Structure 1
Amino acid sequence: MAAGPLPGQPGWQPKVVALDIDGTLLAWVDGQTEDYETIRPVVYDAIHRARAAGAHIVLASGRSPHGMTTIADLLDLPLEGSPEDPTPDVDDRLWVVAANGSILFRYPPQEVVHEETFDAAPAVRAVLAAHPNARVAAEERAIGGYLVNREFPEGELSGVQVVTPVDEIIGQPVNRVVIRDPEATADEFVELAQRLGLDSTEYVVGWSAWMDIAPAGINKASGLQHVVDALGLTAADVLAIGDGRNDREMLTWAGRGVAMGQSIDEVKVVADDVTASVLDDGVAVELARWFGEG
C-alpha cells in the first residue's frame, strides 16, 4: 500500500488540530479594553472550518481544567447530538489536555479520563530555598481553583485562591505545581531550573518568573499521545500550534508543529514552520493552508 503524503506536504490534511490557548488563541495587550478571553471572529471561523472538514479540535494548555472550559464554550464547537454534528452516534465531546499534559478530560460535561500525579515537595523546597518569597500554587478541583501559600498577582490564576501553608499544599500528590516570583525574571528562573536539575520532574518556565513543575515525562505531547491513541491516529496526523516554552515538546512531536510569530527563538527553532503573530491571527493563517479561507 502506498504511503500517504507526509505531514505539511501537498495533499496532507490534519486529522487533529491541537491548539494552545494563551498567546495562540488569546492575545493579551496591556491596557486593552476588550475582554482578554475573546476569540477573534477570523480565528473562530477557521477553527469551525477545520471541524466541519472532520478534524478533531483539541485544546492543549498549561491551564487547569476550570480555566479551559470557558475557552471551549467560547469556541462553541458542534457537540454530540448537535444538528451540525456529522457523527451523531459517536462521543464527539471536546478533548482537552490541561495542566501541561497532567490532566486529560472530555467536555462537556467535564470528565477527567487520565491524570498524572507526583510528589512535588523536593522540587518545590529546592526552588523556595533560592526564592523564599515565591508564590506556590497547586490545583484543587473541589474548589474550582488553587491552594496557594500567598495570593498570586491579579489575573494570573483562574478560579478561587485559598491561602494554605506550603507543607499542606505539597504534602500530598499533585498533578502540577506553579511557582511564581513577581520580584524575579524569566531568565533567572531558567538559570535556576538548569542549576537545580529538578530531578524526577518536568519543568517549564513561562514568559515571566513563572515555573510549572509536573511529573517527569509529562507534557503536552504526552497528553496528546493519549488523545491520538484513543482516536486510532498517530502524531503524523496532528497539526499543533503554540507559542510558549511549554509548547516545544508538542511542536516537536506533532506531524506539523507551528510556532506563533511572536514566539521566542527557542520555540521557533523546534517548529516546522512559523505563522503570523497572535495579533495577526496566526492560527487562522495556518488553518487556511489546510482547510481553506472563509
Structure 2
Amino acid sequence: MGAGAPGPSSLRPGVEPAPGWQPKVVALDIDGTLLAWVDGQELPYETITPAVYDAIHRARDAGAHIVLASGRSPHGMTTIADLLDLPLEGSPEDPTPDYDDRLWVVAANGSVLFRYPPFEVVHEETFDAAPAVRAILEHHPDALVAAEERAIGGYLVNRLFPEGELTGEQVVTPIEEIVGQPVNRVVVRDPESTAEDFMETAAKLGLHGTDYVVGWSAWIDFAPEGISKASGLQHVCDKLGVDPADVLAIGDGRNDLEMLAWAGRGVAMGQAIEEVQVAADAVTATVHDDGVAVELDRWFPRG
C-alpha cells in the first residue's frame, strides 16, 4: 500500500490502499465499534444503528466476508450476529443449502473460533492461567476473576462482577476451580484500581507463558501466548483463501492493536485512545457518529 491523500473516512492523514482496492474480509470489533455505551441512553445497549446495519449489508452484498472479532466469549457474540441478520441464508433449523456460508466469528480475543448458525466451535486455544492469576492476585488481592463456562452460557467467578460487565450467568466458584483446568481466557477486574495500575503490575511481573491485554479500566484479559484477534483472523483467512492485505479491520481497544497492525487496512474508531489511533492506518468517526458506516461507505458506496 502506498501513501496518499486521506479519503473521506480518514480523520487524519494515514496509509492509504492502492487505487481500486476493496476489502474481501471486513473484521469488526463489537463493543465501542458496533455498539456504543451512553449513560442514561434510552435505547438498549445492544443496538445496531440503521446506518451501520445498512453499510455492513452493502459490504456483504458486494461479496465481502463479514467477521465479528471480539474479546467477548462466544455466547455474547451470537446475539450481535442476530441483530445484524448475519448470515441471511439458512437458519439453525434449516441451514442448507448455504451451510458452508455461515458466519465466521473470532471470540475471546482469538482463543475461540466458531461458525454460526448453528453454533459450532471449529478451533480453540487453551492454557494454564493459574500462575498468571495468582501473580496478579498477590498485588490485587481483592480483584474479581472470571473464566468462560460454555455449559452455562456464562462465567465462573470468584465474586459477582458489576452488572453489565459480563454477559450470561455468573456462578460463584473458588479460584482454585476457576483456574484449575485449561481455559481459553481469564478476566481479572479490580473496580478499586486503574488501567495504569494494571499495566504497571503486568509489566513488572512479566507473566511468562501468557499474553494479556489491559482494557479501558482495571480489566485484564489473559490469553494463550501468541493468541490475539490477529491470529484468529489469520486462521479464518486461511480457510477463506484471503490474504491479510485484503482485510479491513475496525476496532477501538488495546485488544485490537494486533488486528489493526495485521490487516491490510486497520482503522481505529474516533473515540479510541491515542495508542490505538497511532497504531492504525486511519481513524474514522466515533462510535456515536457511526464510524463503522463512515469507513464502509468509502469502499462500498450507496447505490
Give the deviation of 1:89 after TM superposition: 5.1
Stretches (4+) displaced over 4 A: 87-90
- Is 1:102–1:176's contact at 8 Å kept on the other side of the alignment? yes
- Is 2:188–2:219's contact at 8 Å kept on the other side of the alignment? yes
**What are the residue-to-residue correspondences of 1:41-120 with 2, within 5 Å?**
41-81=50-90, 91-120=100-129
- Is 2:87–2:103's contact at 8 Å kept on the other side of the alignment? no
1:133 pairs with 132, 142, 149, which one? Answer: 142
Q: Counterpart of 1:3?
A: none
Aligned identity (percent) is 80
Q: What is the CA–CA distance in structure 2 between the aligned matches of 1:202 and 1:42, rounded to whole Å?
A: 35
* Secondary structure class of the residue paired with 1:269: helix
* Secondary structure class of the residue paired with 2:236: helix
The residue identity in structure 1 corresponding to 2:58 is: R
- Is 2:132–2:207's contact at 8 Å kept on the other side of the alignment? yes
Q: Counterpart of 1:169?
A: 178
The residue identity in structure 2 corresponding to 1:262 is: Q
Q: Counterpart of 2:156?
A: 147
1:27 pairs with 25, 36, 45, which one? Answer: 36
The residue identity in structure 1 corresponding to 2:206 is: G
The number of equivalent residue pairs is: 285
2:250 pairs with 209, 218, 241, which one? Answer: 241
Deviations along 1:180-210, one digit per CA (max 9) or x if unpaired, are 0000011111111111111111100111100
* Secondary structure class of the residue paired with 1:126: helix
Q: What is the CA–CA distance in structure 2 between the aligned matches of 1:135 and 1:81, rounded to whole Å?
A: 40
Q: What is the CA–CA distance in structure 2 between the aligned matches of 1:173 and 1:164, rounded to whole Å?
A: 16
Q: What is the CA–CA distance in structure 2 between the aligned matches of 1:44 and 1:88, rounded to whole Å?
A: 25
Q: Counterpart of 1:289?
A: 298
Segment drifting more, 9-18 vs 72-81:
72-81
Deviations along 1:32-90, one digit per CA (max 9) or x if unpaired, are 121000000000000000000000000000000000000000001343348xxxx9556
Task: Please say if 1:222 is aligned against 2:225.
Answer: no
Q: Counterpart of 1:270?
A: 279
Q: What is the CA–CA distance in structure 2 between the aligned matches of 1:16 and 1:188, rounded to whole Å?
A: 36
* Secondary structure class of the residue paired with 2:56: helix
The residue identity in structure 2 corresponding to 1:108 is: P
Q: 1:107 to 1:7 in 2, by over 3 A?
A: farther
* Secondary structure class of the residue paired with 2:267: strand
Q: Counterpart of 1:186?
A: 195
* Secondary structure class of the residue paired with 2:22: coil
* Secondary structure class of the residue paired with 1:233: coil
- TM-score, normalising length: structure 2: 0.92
Q: What is the CA–CA distance in structure 1 between the aligned matches of 2:25 and 2:97, rounded to whole Å?
A: 19
- Is 2:16–2:281's contact at 8 Å kept on the other side of the alignment? no
- Is 1:205–1:211's contact at 8 Å kept on the other side of the alignment? yes
Deviations along 1:204-262, one digit per CA (max 9) or x if unpaired, are 01111000000000000000000000001111110000000000000000000000000
Give the deviation of 1:31 after TM superposition: 1.4
1:260 pairs with 269, 281, 284, which one? Answer: 269
* Secondary structure class of the residue paired with 1:44: helix
- Is 2:35–2:45's contact at 8 Å kept on the other side of the alignment? yes
Task: Please say if 1:213 is aligned against 2:222.
Answer: yes
